[in-house]
Amino acid sequence: MPEPHSNGLTRRQVLGIGGAFGLLTTTGLATAATLARRPATTGGQLRSTAQLPPPYQVPLPLPAVLKPVSTDGAADRYEIVQRETTAEILPGLRTPLWTYGGSFPGPTIEARRGRPVTVTHHNELPVPTAVHLHGGRTPAESDGYPTDLVLPAGWPQAPHTMPGMAGTDGHGGGMGAMTDPRAVTTRLKRDYTFPNDQRPTLLWYHDHRMDFTAPAIWRGLAGLYIVRDDAEDALGLPAGPREIPLMIADRAFTADGALTYPSLDPTLRERPGVTEPYVAGVLGDVILVNGAPWPVHETDAARHRLRLLNASNARHYELEARTEDGRRLDLVRIGADQGLLAAPVTHQSLPMAPAERHDLVVDFASAPVGSLVRIVNRLGSGRTRDVMAFRIARPATDDSRIPPALTTDLPDWHREDAVRTRDFAFRAGRMNGGHGWLIGGRPFDPARPDVTVPLGDTEIWRLIADVHHPVHLHLVGFRILTRGGKPPLPHDAGLKDTVSLRPGESAEIITRFDGYRGRYLFHCHNAEHEDMGMMANLEVV
């Protein structure tokens, strides 16, 4: 195996395919050498040919909060039209996008705990879609199962007889979509109902169509969804303009401003997958925050609540807040994927895998007025080291606080509570004669039961990875019991829905499968891995 290099292709081979299909698949286990090398991320990086702006020039956009079309005593109703549009992402260029409601990110939905939301999604895109609310405790019929498609106008037939699918030499996923007897498709639109009967947190909604999730998210099908409740509101955390959602995602652009993505079938209609150098994951060389490249946000010299989401397909970050005089500001982590921690945890830097969220408080009071606080990605190189910056525009009074106790409603599952333990290996493999990503040696098949669990059971899952795999469960939050056979890391604290397994690493998680019965999923949230087989059924009965 070649040594890591700064040279693009060699490095790509090492980080991606070399690691995945070489050593690890033949031994099936991590070696000491792999662990020592521990590449920063898994995937191949695209190179933009567009002229890119210097960092910290484009203002940070704040996604608009969607207005309900109706509210009554019982529920809020929203409408979202999924449609193509163009937007100015790089200064002076237009980027064609697929959007929720005409913007990327899509509009933010603000929900209250216990108050249901119904979103009617209209599909005006050229392909079928499925909407999933990531981190939502959602009844199965609204969870966006990958074959529960919303068909656009003019889509010839139901997907199980979709022309072209049977004849492709794509992988088993496409064949699976063809033969899923339980798929519930709709035409033109679909109502998704979210009870919001869950802890307050930052969720996100994104496309989840079988085989084509990665390119659909890449083109713009992602938006934020925030659940709040009175207890959290009463904590006195930074709020209003000092509470800022930050959706971080990498992309790459052609000279005319279009997004680059190495799809085998750029129409995203028939043949899934990406070209060979990118099968381990697609990385961009432009870092977008809320859809803007390396943006800057002018703000007060005060505490801010930063609600971070890594919406990248495959890129991992390790974030720091750096002042101009080289200090690192404390990142006070108050919440995880599934809401508030019991107590704040202070970090100097924080790793963030695809689909993970961090709820942070950062105090800018010590930064001189007029200076920049940069958010830096320690895992990046060159321009992917920069993420965004805050320009400290004015002194300010600050009556926010970080209570030493944040919540007492965290589930407290113990090892003894588990009625069974399951093992899952997340590894590269062969699938229909091509590259695949497998769970327990098998690629996703919607028709195959993988895990069946009685409602209310508590289980321990032991997960092991070859390369980076951020493993996500639908429906439930979980706690991380161990990582690499040792106690979990500080950033593993709290209730999670995505656990980042690093190369060769294992983790044990514990959860109780409650909420709803029905057909759910668990999968790798490296979106390319997910599309190339690394997904399985989770049936709650």
Which residues lie near ligand C2O (CB under 6 A)?
132, 134, 206, 208, 355, 472, 474, 521, 523, 525
Binding letters toward Cu ion, positions 131-170, x by CB under 5 A: ---x------------------------------------
Taking the CB of residue 407, how many other CB atoms lie within 10 A of it? 20
Among ligand C2O, Cu ion, none, residue 526 binds (CB under 5-8 Å by kind):
Cu ion
Between 511 and 526, CB nearer to Cu ion: 526
One DSSP character per residue, 247-281 reads EEEEE-B-TTSPBP--BSSTTSSS---B-GGGTT-
Least distance from ligand C2O to the Cβ atom of residue 433, Å: 26
Among Cu ion, ligand C2O, none, residue 521 binds (CB under 5-8 Å by kind):
ligand C2O
Is residue 519 within the footprint of Cu ion (CB under 5 A)? no
Least distance from ligand C2O to the Cβ atom of residue 247, Å: 13
428, 25 Cβ separation under 8 angstroms:
yes
Near Cu ion in 444-473, by CB under 5 A: 469
With CA atoms as reference, report the closest residue to 304 among 366, 348, 240, 225.
240
Per-residue CA distances from 168 to 159, 284, 338, 429 (Å)? 14, 28, 39, 20
Least distance from ligand C2O to the Cβ atom of residue 182, Å: 17
Cβ neighbours of residue 240 under 8 Å, at least 6 residues apart?
Answer: none
Between 132 and 190, CB nearer to ligand C2O: 132
Between 146 and 295, CB nearer to ligand C2O: 146
Among ligand C2O, Cu ion, none, residue 355 binds (CB under 5-8 Å by kind):
ligand C2O
Least distance from Cu ion to the Cβ atom of residue 137, Å: 11
Between 285 and 359, CB nearer to ligand C2O: 359
Least distance from ligand C2O to the Cβ atom of residue 267, Å: 23
Between 138 and 290, CB nearer to ligand C2O: 138
Identify the burial level of 110 via C-beta atoms within 10 angstroms of its C-beta, where 0-12 means exposed, 13-18 middle and 19 or more buried.
middle
Cβ neighbours of residue 526 under 8 Å, at least 6 residues apart?
Answer: 42, 43, 280, 281, 313, 314, 354, 437, 468, 469, 470, 534
Least distance from ligand C2O to the Cβ atom of residue 98, Å: 17
The tokens describing 248, both together, are: 């971080």
Least distance from Cu ion to the Cβ atom of residue 479, Å: 17
Among ligand C2O, Cu ion, none, residue 469 binds (CB under 5-8 Å by kind):
Cu ion
Least distance from Cu ion to the Cβ atom of residue 498, Å: 8
316, 352 Cβ separation under 8 angstroms:
yes
Is residue 529 within the footprint of Cu ion (CB under 5 A)? yes
Between 210 and 392, CB nearer to ligand C2O: 210
246, 504 Cβ separation under 8 angstroms:
no
Distance CA(338)–CA(353), nearest Å, equals: 15
Among ligand C2O, Cu ion, none, residue 208 binds (CB under 5-8 Å by kind):
ligand C2O
- Of all residues in the shown chain, the one whose CB is closest to ligand C2O is 134
Among Cu ion, ligand C2O, none, residue 297 binds (CB under 5-8 Å by kind):
none
Distance CA(238)–CA(242), nearest Å, equals: 6
Identify the burial level of 490 via C-beta atoms within 10 angstroms of its C-beta, where 0-12 means exposed, 13-18 middle and 19 or more buried.
exposed
Token look-up 């720091």 returns 320
Which helix or strand (DSSP H or E) is residue 529 part of? helix 527-531
Least distance from ligand C2O to the Cβ atom of residue 293, Å: 24
Distance CA(116)–CA(76), nearest Å, equals: 7
Between 151 and 475, CB nearer to ligand C2O: 475
Between 219 and 529, CB nearer to Cu ion: 529
The tokens describing 538, both together, are: 């989770």
Catalog residues that contact Cu ion under the rule CB under 5 A. Answer: 134, 469, 474, 524, 526, 529
